[in-house]
Structure 1
Amino acid sequence: MMLPQEVIRAKRDGQELDLSRISDFIAGLTDGRVTEGQAAAFAMAVFFRGLSLDERVALTRAMTRSGTVLSWDLPGPVLDKHSTGGVGDAVSLALAPMVAACGGYVPMISGRGLGHTGGTLDKLAAIPGYDARPDLDRFRRVTAQVGCAIIGQTAELAPADARLYAIRDVTGTVESLDLITASILSKKLAAGLDGLVMDVKVGSGAFMAGLDEALGLGAAIVGVAGGAGLKTVALVTDMDSPLASVAGNALEVAYILDYLTGRGREPAFHAITVELGAEMLVLGGLTEDLPSARARLEQALDSGRALESFSRMVAALGGPADLAERPQAHLAAAPVIRTIELSEPGYITHVATRDIGLAVIGLGGGRTRPQDEIDPAVGFTGLARAGEAVGPDRPLAVIHAHDAATADRAEAAVRAAYRIGPAPGAANAPLRDRITGSQYG
């Protein structure tokens, strides 16, 4: 067995790692022989030197095999969606029950926040009693009975990725295309999926700021997934503005409850959610084409069946059965609420969306160290989007903070993140591009 430092040195010097060296290193990451410092050094070496396609496949497979690989015996297709992360991206919480209401099964394994992005697992932790790390028997049972179960990585599923994921978050290596690809696909392959839809974010709030970078990541994921036998489509979606008008864990759960009940459905969020779900239904053979899939998802929302699936999932995993009816009784609320007022009218011409995500962390809604605790109540509501009119009657956002001092810092950060002009600029379409296996086979 090769020493971990030799693997790090080889990659640092630009050598291609063979399957045995990658497998040895990942095995050490899993059983503790590889230290946190060595894992961080490996991540940095990969970040700067990159991996070949063969190395990506080897790393993905080694991380998949670091734990249990699930198999399913269900009357419908096993499907999932994964986002590369952004600000105000709570799509998973709505999408899993929507697809379940259409006959799919969604065993979604999600992660904590990375860098400036909010994590689905952190949002779920804002729901009192919700068991985001059940044992595999409970995970299987809830998925089979409800149609969906959104959980975090367990000790059994891709444990090597769970360790590397936390280290990437605090070592400046989140944006590595190679590590993103291996991280995403190791979890998805371990979940035993029939089809996967990737949401690759692009823009000022994404890890991939440029369209070429986003297309490269989408192609990498579709290519590696296809090589592993997993049908995958990638959608490149806009993150030059927060996807939803909220950012913060409990606030995003409340937003999803409004979305599922029909109390509020913002156009960009709704368009992306339906488009991702439509791709999932087509991949799973539940509909013949995207138009019929979109119509089926709309019907699942309007009929209340998607909300019912969400409520059943929350209750089955230990959360309150009346969360949808009484969200204020269960979700934490911040003691300081402040509106960011504007004295003059104008239009949003640019949003430094990443800085808004960092402002959530500054409020206590994210981490600077893996062990940090998160305040679920803090964040923003009413965030303005690019192209939107703002002014005395339409503030930039509303701050939800623990105290006045953090609210002051958050207000300064949000004001600096927005550029306002006298005329509206051209806003990007929510859906930027689509990548299929036939393109990158």
Structure 2
Amino acid sequence: MTQHPQDAASLHARHQAVLPSWLSLYYERPLELTHGEGRHVWDAEGNRYLDFFGGILTTMTAHALPEVTKAVSEQAGRIIHTSTLYLSRPMVDLAERIVALSGIPDARVFFTTSGTEANDAALLLATTHRRSNQVLAMRNSYHGRSFSTVGITGNQSWSPTSLSPLQTLYVHGGVRTRGPYAELGDRDYIAACVADLEDMLQQTAGGVAALIAEPVQGVGGFTMPPDGLYAAFREVLARHGILWISDEVQTGWGRTGDHFWGWQAHADNGPPDLLTFAKGIGNGMAIGGVVARAEVMNSLTANSISTFGGSPVTMAAGLANLNYLLEHDLQGNARRVGGLLIERLRAVTAGLGLVREVRGRGLMIGVELVRPGTDERAPEAASLVLEAARERGLLIGKGGQGGASLRIAPPMTLTIAEAEEGAELLADALQAAQGVLAPS
């Protein structure tokens, strides 16, 4: 039943009365999404939107995908919960598939309920294995909202405390077109970042446990280094015995189009020691996990369990979703349709002073906004564009330093027609925002 606008206002007031003030909501009039199908969602007022954000890159294949909803329903009809204290066929089935796809030799999988928890587990494994609490992270990075993952997040907007159980050192390289090395060519850029890493390691006391890095920075605004940077880093890390954790929470499962995992763009010297995943694999169900070679995974000496990690229902959903993704070559679709969408966005934003850069790969696209006529980031512009896009029936995200970048990550079944429609809607929203910020 269609609800009236006052119903949404009432729900917002109730939300504010019982939930934290720091629990972010998009839009001046926050949306209540009630149902979805394919690449579209509907709100409580009956409005239909083309979804270009997928619940933060989590609705990976499609809304209400029949194969996933059927798997969830059938498993829920048998048993919903057992915990990791009992053998679980769905958990073993999915773990076997992920081990085979990971590229990590003699791998083991530990399932969690989120990307935050997956990265937290990876940090526990790496610091225990290396007997060190020193961690390297990338500037502008984001790895979660737990106490440990906030402590390795290099994005001020998402790091509410300086307290941390870890000693974190931040490395150059994740933001290609800003910073002290931005004017260098790719080869010299990589060399400068490696030299910075080498110099930093000379300043540390004792052994560093690990480098954790997103191949494409998600919350950071879909920024990325030149291909090969992490392979070059890996050569340095290997000399020091330092582990490499690839945070694939947003880049995994073929979303970048060119590769199944983001680390494969830096694969000259093999896979990472640990790989974390979450979001898209469950198509909305709460699945996360860490993959590591057995030597690292088995380094914990105390007992551990996960009450909800590896739940039979979420594992059934993940397996059905992964099967669909592979059988329908959604990685190839992300490469083809994503490439078209990036080029279309570059074409429709050419000449707009508001747009500094359109970047990304596959169906993971960032649009960085600046104040027209300057190189200053414009977070107010991102907020204006989000509102204008919503008014036109398009949902997108935002992020980046100061929140000045738009984030575009539709479900990976996106069609060419939907990509072209979304590009036109976004172009119209950008023009409207530029008119507000720099009226003629």
TM over 0.5: no
